[in-house]
Chain A
Amino acid sequence: MSELTSKTDTVVAAQAATTPDAVLATDAGPAPGKPRSLWSDAWYDLRHNWMFLLSTFLILLLLLIAAVPDLFISGSVSPRDGDLTAHYLQSPQMSHLFSAEWFGYDHQGRSIYARVLHGTRASILVGVMVTLVVSLVGGLVGLISGYFGGWVDSVVSRVTDVFFGIPFLLGAMVVLNTFAERSVPVVALALAVLGWTSIARVMRGSVITVKQADYVTAARALGAGTGRILFKHILPNAVAPVIVVATIALGGYITAEATLSFLGIGLTEAISWGQDISSGKDYLRTAQYVLFFPAAMLSVTVLAFLMFGDAVRNALDPKSR
């Protein structure tokens, strides 16, 4: 017992000696002001972080575009039907904001602006779906193998190794190549099959750390069951790094979808930025805008999720700053 307290003292003293923040945290006495938890501290950080505010705004805007793309274009413009004779590779009219001709027309006479808007839905859907599946599957696998350890962990880890060993994009290419019709769920599933391992690894590591915490031992000593310990004590405390990795990965999945569509083995039905970039590459010399606008939109989308994940990570893990 005395050893335990002296250790805690040591830790507190060490923190106090090195960081002034810690001094404040440990010394937050009866004085006015609420005690600050990890999450409220993180929230404080986020509200004052321009990257977070900007990325949140962008993500909300993108979600709105994905939901109702027609809201952002004047008149009713079909992204699929083009008028070759009237609009073949017609240059952008940068002054005609929000009009069909704003970003110009492509080689089939289709409005690039309309296509860019309508391409948002597929990209975001794939990104979100992959992230959800991967977080659930990978999270569960990581939780189980981290918590139970032993042979369960060995088996699960080897299986994870197998999936991790397959190059991500190459594996997705092989899987998708076998489908003639590739809808959003198909592409999402193909990416998820190969992507869950990274979340599983993060979760496993996080669970192993949390498992050793004193409050888990205490809960066990008080007679809490496995289920209760797992979901009441371990999961809430182990989930932060998973959230961060998943948010950042979301941007990566969007890139992966675009890359596959660019290669012609991605989405077949939906309008996709990747496909449009692929068709734009043939006009790189004469009409760069055909490639530029979908590429820019794709990059901004990925950037938004990346910045969001980054900001959340920095807020949750002040050490990385």
Chain B
Amino acid sequence: MSIIDKTDAVLEPEAVGFDGPLLDVRDLHVEFHTRDGVAKAVNGVNYSVEAGETLAVLGESGSGKSVTAQAIMGILDMPPGRIPRGEIMFRGQDMLKMSEEQRRRIRGRKIAMIFQDALSSLNPVLSVGYQLGEMYRVHEGLSKKAAKAKAIEMMDRVKIPAAAARVNDYPHQFSGGMRQRIMIAMALALEPELIIADEPTTALDVTVQAQVMDLLAELQREYRMGLILITHDLGVVADVADKIAVMYAGRIVERGPVHELYRNPGHPYTKGLLESIPRLDQKGQELYAIKGLPPNLTRIPSGCAFNPRCPMAQDVCRTDVPPLHPMTAPDGTELVGRASACHFWKETVNG
């Protein structure tokens, strides 16, 4: 009985009258137990997403951005993965405390995910129509026929030409961009409240990237969904995101509204990232590169994890872990939404 009650509460959250953020990740920790020791992939991440809002999570590979997303989705391999601490609140309820069945009902229906490599993420031996229709059949109990009609409709929505003719084709028969559209169609099929897109355009040609990104942004506006966009492409972020969280070694090192953060980064790492983008107006100059490599997650440096690569590192950076300081303007007024995990954020902003 209680399970059913709980499930209902989850599926009809409006009835509870909750008006906090759609998704609120609090102090999330994820670690992997490997033979080289414990790899601390995520070390206390906090972020939230409102309905209709786009949060871009930025970072190199191994920064923990994808692992965080997988933890939210509930698709982490456990073991070897483990979540020792943290909460993932979806509409005010901690998903980590839910039963597997409750989480399954949220997956795909309330929170959906778009993966990077659509070719390997789609089942190679099932037709795209079947895989799309499966969403309706499983979550809404539609018949095979009705599900297929819905699948065609959805393929039309993501602008796949001749959808009705191609519904029985297999993933390998589509181009990369079309495949990613099918992934998007599948994620949006049940009009979820939150979409997590994990590097949705990285595997695509540059010209197709823009089309797919535009489509995603357009559909997001239309359905008023929350969107978590995981990427290492700073160009994509500027166009679509409302706010940014920059991750390094499993922590958020800086966050803020997208344009302010771009204009005036508050963390040396963010600054380095932005300076390493080639720009037309600096043609002929040497391109900046952050020296060194991201840390080994089993042996994260003490203090600030970025200190071995940081041009501004001082002794304090090697001993004390910097908290995520809320940032203020030089005159003391609060910069809304901005925070930096650098001991010297003031110097960074002004320097």
Interface residues on A, range: 20 to 34
Instruction: Please determine whether B202 and A9 come into contact, CB atoms closer than 8 angstroms.
Output: yes
Those of B51-67 within 8 Å (CB) of chain A: 61-62, 66-67
Instruction: Please determine whether A23 and B295 come into contact, CB atoms closer than 8 angstroms.
Output: no
Known pairs A13-B66, A16-B66, A29-B293; A24 contacts B34 (CB<8 A): yes
Binding site for A on B (CB under 8 A): 32, 34, 36, 39, 41, 61-62, 66-67, 70, 77, 80-81, 116-117, 198-199, 202-203, 205-206, 232, 292-299, 308
CA of A151 to CA of B232, assembled, Å: 47
A-B interface pairs (CB < 8 A), number: 74
A-B pairs with the 6 shortest C-beta distances? A20-B32, A17-B66, A29-B293, A16-B61, A13-B61, A27-B62
CA of A9 to CA of B36, assembled, Å: 24
Listed by A's residue number, 14 A-B pairs whose Cβ atoms lie within 8 Å are: A13-B199, A14-B117, A17-B67, A17-B116, A20-B39, A24-B34, A26-B62, A28-B296, A29-B293, A30-B293, A31-B295, A31-B296, A31-B299, A32-B299
For the complex, is A269 an interface residue (Cβ under 8 Å from B)? Answer: no
CA of A23 to CA of B62, assembled, Å: 6
CB distance from B231 to the nearest CB of A (A): 10
Instruction: Please determine whether A10 and B116 come into contact, CB atoms closer than 8 angstroms.
Output: yes
| Chain A residues closer than 8 Å to B67, beta-carbon distance | 17
For the complex, is A297 an interface residue (Cβ under 8 Å from B)? Answer: no
Those of A1-38 within 8 Å (CB) of chain B: 2-3, 6-7, 9-10, 12-14, 16-18, 20-21, 23-24, 26-33
CA of A81 to CA of B287, assembled, Å: 86
CA of A139 to CA of B203, assembled, Å: 37
CA of A13 to CA of B65, assembled, Å: 10
**Contact flags (1/0) for A205-246 with B, using CB distance below 8 Å?**
000000000000000000000000000000000000000000
Instruction: Please determine whether A20 and B66 come into contact, CB atoms closer than 8 angstroms.
Output: no
CA of A7 to CA of B202, assembled, Å: 8
Binding site for B on A (CB under 8 A): 2-3, 6-7, 9-10, 12-14, 16-18, 20-21, 23-24, 26-33
Known pairs A9-B232, A13-B202, A14-B116; A23 contacts B39 (CB<8 A): yes
- Which of A2, A10, A12, A28 interacts with B117 by CB under 8 Å? A10
| Chain B residues closer than 8 Å to A26, beta-carbon distance | 61-62
Instruction: Please determine whether B36 and A24 come into contact, CB atoms closer than 8 angstroms.
Output: yes
| Chain B residues closer than 8 Å to A13, beta-carbon distance | 61, 66, 116, 199, 202, 232
| Chain B residues closer than 8 Å to A7, beta-carbon distance | 203
Instruction: Please determine whether A21 and B34 come into contact, CB atoms closer than 8 angstroms.
Output: yes
| Chain A residues closer than 8 Å to B116, beta-carbon distance | 10, 13-14, 17
Q: Besides A13-B66, A29-B293, 15 other CB < 8 A contacts?
A: A6-B202, A9-B61, A13-B202, A16-B62, A16-B66, A23-B41, A24-B36, A24-B39, A24-B296, A27-B294, A27-B296, A29-B294, A30-B292, A30-B293, A32-B299
CA of A10 to CA of B299, assembled, Å: 24
| Chain A residues closer than 8 Å to B298, beta-carbon distance | 24
CB distance from A300 to the nearest CB of B (A): 31
CA of A12 to CA of B116, assembled, Å: 12
Residue among B34, B61, B205, B298 facing the most chain A CB atoms (10 A cut-off): B61
Instruction: Please determine whether B202 and A10 come into contact, CB atoms closer than 8 angstroms.
Output: yes
CA of A3 to CA of B176, assembled, Å: 14
